[in-house]
């Protein structure tokens, strides 16, 4: 799928619409989900134009990939969620109900998340 430069996260990266920023690095951004599913619900995204995780893995530089996972790890620590724990989810495509076509990881925390399909 071609990247849509007008998707909502592209607009957030460009500063065209606001977000509740949690953290930022050279190549990545973390902000709170507008419709949180748990007490802590943060989205971590690369600033580059990638639709999904496979695009990110195939096309991003090693520096972008390292930067993304370092920010993801630091957000978990910053929010105090390493203990008692958090869940990372990335939805890809129609069956997963990916709503925003810009690769993102959900970080969910702040409650007992129960069990899920894995």
Task: Give me the residues that bind ligand 5GP (CB under 6 A), please.
Answer: 8, 19, 31, 33-35, 43, 91, 97-100
Closest to ligand 5GP by CB, 16 or 70: 16
Closest to ligand 5GP by CB, 63 or 93: 93
What is the rounded distance in angstroms from the CA atom of residue 73 to the CA atom of residue 94? 27
**Under 8 Å CB-to-CB from 7, ≥6 apart: which residues?**
100, 101, 102
**Under 8 Å CB-to-CB from 5, ≥6 apart: which residues?**
49
Minimum distance of ligand 5GP from residue 11's CB (angstroms): 8
Among 27, 102, 104, 106, the active-site one is 104
Catalytic residues: 104
């Amino acid at each position: 799928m071609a990247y849509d430069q007008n998707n909502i996260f592209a607009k957030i990266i460009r500063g065209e619409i606001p977000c509740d920023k949690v953290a930022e690095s050279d190549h990545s951004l973390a902000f709170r989900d507008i419709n949180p599913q748990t007490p802590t619900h943060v989205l971590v995204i690369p600033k580059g134009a990638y639709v999904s995780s496979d695009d990110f893995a195939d096309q991003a530089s090693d520096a972008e990939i390292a930067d993304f996972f370092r920010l993801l790890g630091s957000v978990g620590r910053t929010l105090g969620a390493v203990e008692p724990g958090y869940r990372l989810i990335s939805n890809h495509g129609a069956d997963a109900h990916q709503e925003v076509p810009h690769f993102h990881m959900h970080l969910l925390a702040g409650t007992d998340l129960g069990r899920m399909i894995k």
